[in-house]
């Protein structure tokens, strides 16, 4: 009989798909690593498995224990799936700007969700950070993975995403492009690809305009899951050869094009990463192989990026068409 022991063993081994239409005029091969094929629908399933298994081995996470993490989205889903299969409880802390749909997804997987006000300082007792610290102190057998500082976040990519890309491209990958949030994806995958290629593979981060990775101060942007206002320790500053800053408008217009032209219904950070990848690929030749990682699916963004009203209200639609031209995006 052919079956998997549980959803946990379906994490990773996601497909690479060539982009055929948004790449018009580009000579290099541009391949997308489509992470929504993970069971929880995002790249974050990878870090959930490794962070939990490492904490079991080190004894930090005890049988029947509780996982407490400030997360509103993809990391929470990954942790919730792995936790329920292994008999742990989850409490997630979210800011109140998070949509009810996202909170309900976490609850559907059996997690408890505590919602905190966004409009308070980080040191306020009700802040997202302080509430999660208090829950860790007050909950018996609690463990906080802390994806921003947990070395198993980048390590999960060093041991899965990186080797998968090297094998899938038969070592022909020349450039790797990924959005930067905690920095785990780019640091772990990038480091593996540098090691495997003796430094030949170029690693490029994609960042929302205004975030620290591209020299900003953390000015607000609307693309979710990427960009920061501080430097997480999960981010290895030595790995990226360059960082490309992308505007919200370009990110979201490309996200819509990926659905319409490539059959890829993906999230806004995917559009952002593809814009960066195309800017890199434009300057390359036919022997180059650019891989861009697409972290999640577009299903969680239907009332934002895929709503004309929402796009128009932020000035992200071009007059009349609701479409972006290639010239606008590149
Ligand atoms: N895109 C989305 C939608 C995400 O949830 C994340 C994770 N925060 C990222 C991109 C960036 O990944 P990383 O945290 O590994 O840098």
Minimum CA distance residue for ligand 1 atom 6: 225
CB 296 within 8 A of CB 37: no
Minimum CA distance residue for ligand 1 atom 12: 181
CA dihedral (76, 89, 184, 188) positive or negative: negative
Residues having CB closer than 6 A to ligand 1 are: 73-74, 179-185, 224-226, 267, 269, 295-296
d(CA 14, CA 45): 12
Distance 74 CA to ligand 1 centre (A): 8
Instruction: Respond yes or no: is residue 44 known to be catalytic.
Output: yes
Atom of ligand 1 nearest to the CA of 181: 16
Minimum CA distance residue for ligand 1 atom 2: 225
In 3-state terms, the chain is what percent helix, strand and coil (to 5)? 40, 15, 45
HSE (CB half, 13 Å, CA atoms) of 288?
21
Minimum CA distance residue for ligand 1 atom 3: 225
**73, 295, 305, best to mutate for ligand 1 pocket (most atoms within 8 Å of CB):** 295
> Quick one: pLDDT at residue 12?
98
Alpha-carbon distances, residue 151 vs 51, 156, 189, 269 (angstroms): 8, 9, 13, 23
Residues contacting residue 10 through CB under 8 Å, at least 6 positions apart: 4, 38, 39
Distance 280 CA to ligand 1 centre (A): 20
- Out of 44, 86, 249, 304, pick the active-site residue: 44
d(CA 95, CA 66): 20
Residues contacting residue 263 through CB under 8 Å, at least 6 positions apart: none
Atom of ligand 1 nearest to the CA of 73: 5
Atom of ligand 1 nearest to the CA of 74: 5
> Quick one: pLDDT at residue 324?
52
> Quick one: pLDDT at residue 292?
99
Tokens 């990775």 belong to residue: 213
d(CA 7, CA 28): 36
Alpha-carbon distances, residue 237 vs 23, 113, 179, 205 (angstroms): 29, 33, 14, 11
Nearest to 266 by CA among 80, 14, 79: 14
Looking at 71-204, list the stretches that DSSP marks H as alpha helix, in order from N- to C-terminal side: 74-86, 100-108, 128-138, 152-159, 161-168, 184-196
> Quick one: pLDDT at residue 330?
54
d(CA 226, CA 90): 23
Q: Residue 199: is it exposed, middle or buried by C-beta count within 10 angstroms (0-12/13-18/19+)?
A: exposed
Q: Tens-digit pLDDT profile for the chain (330 aa)? A: 999 999 999 999 999 999 999 999 999 999 999 999 999 999 999 999 999 999 999 999 999 999 999 887 899 999 999 999 999 999 999 888 787 888 999 999 999 999 998 788 878 899 888 899 999 999 999 999 999 999 999 999 999 999 999 999 999 999 999 999 999 999 999 999 999 999 999 999 999 999 999 999 887 899 999 998 889 999 999 999 999 999 999 999 999 999 999 999 999 999 999 999 999 999 999 999 999 999 999 999 999 999 999 999 999 998 654 555 454 555
> Quick one: pLDDT at residue 123?
86
> Quick one: pLDDT at residue 118?
77
**226, 227, 272, 304, best to mutate for ligand 1 pocket (most atoms within 8 Å of CB):** 226
Taking the mean position of all CA atoms in its chain, how far away is CA 133? 24
- State the complex-level ipTM: 0.98
Distance 319 CA to ligand 1 centre (A): 31
């Amino acid at each position: 009989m052919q079956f998997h022991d549980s959803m946990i063993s379906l994490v990773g081994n996601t497909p690479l798909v060539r982009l055929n239409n948004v790449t018009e005029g580009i000579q290099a091969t541009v391949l997308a690593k489509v992470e929504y094929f993970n069971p929880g629908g995002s790249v974050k399933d990878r870090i959930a498995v490794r962070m939990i298994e490492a904490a079991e081995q080190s004894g930090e996470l005890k049988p029947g224990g509780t996982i407490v993490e400030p997360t509103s989205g993809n990391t929470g889903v990954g942790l919730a799936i792995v936790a329920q299969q292994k008999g742990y409880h989850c409490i997630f802390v979210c800011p109140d700007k998070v949509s009810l749909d996202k909170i309900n997804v976490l609850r559907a997987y059996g997690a408890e969700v505590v919602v905190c006000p966004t409009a308070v300082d980080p040191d306020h007792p009700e802040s997202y950070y302080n509430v999660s610290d208090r829950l860790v102190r007050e909950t018996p057998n609690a463990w906080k993975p802390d994806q921003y500082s947990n070395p198993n976040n980048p390590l999960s990519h060093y041991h899965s995403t990186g080797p998968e890309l090297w094998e899938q491209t038969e070592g022909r990958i020349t450039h790797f492009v990924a959005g930067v949030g905690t920095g785990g994806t780019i640091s772990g995958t990038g480091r593996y690809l540098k090691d495997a290629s003796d430094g030949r593979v170029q690693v490029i981060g994609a960042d929302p305009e205004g975030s620290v990775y591209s020299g900003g101060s953390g000015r607000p942007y609307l693309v979710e899951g990427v960009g920061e206002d501080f430097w997480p320790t999960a981010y290895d500053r030595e790995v990226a050869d360059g960082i490309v800053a992308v505007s919200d408008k370009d990110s979201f217009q490309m996200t819509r094009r990926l659905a319409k032209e490539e059959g890829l219904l993906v999230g806004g950070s995917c559009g952002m990463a593809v814009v960066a990848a195309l800017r890199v690929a434009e300057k390359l030749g036919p022997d180059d192989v650019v891989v861009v990682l697409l972290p999640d699916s577009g299903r969680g963004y239907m009332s934002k990026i895929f709503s004309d009203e929402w796009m128009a209200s932020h000035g992200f639609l071009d007059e009349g068409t609701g479409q972006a031209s290639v010239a606008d995006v590149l």
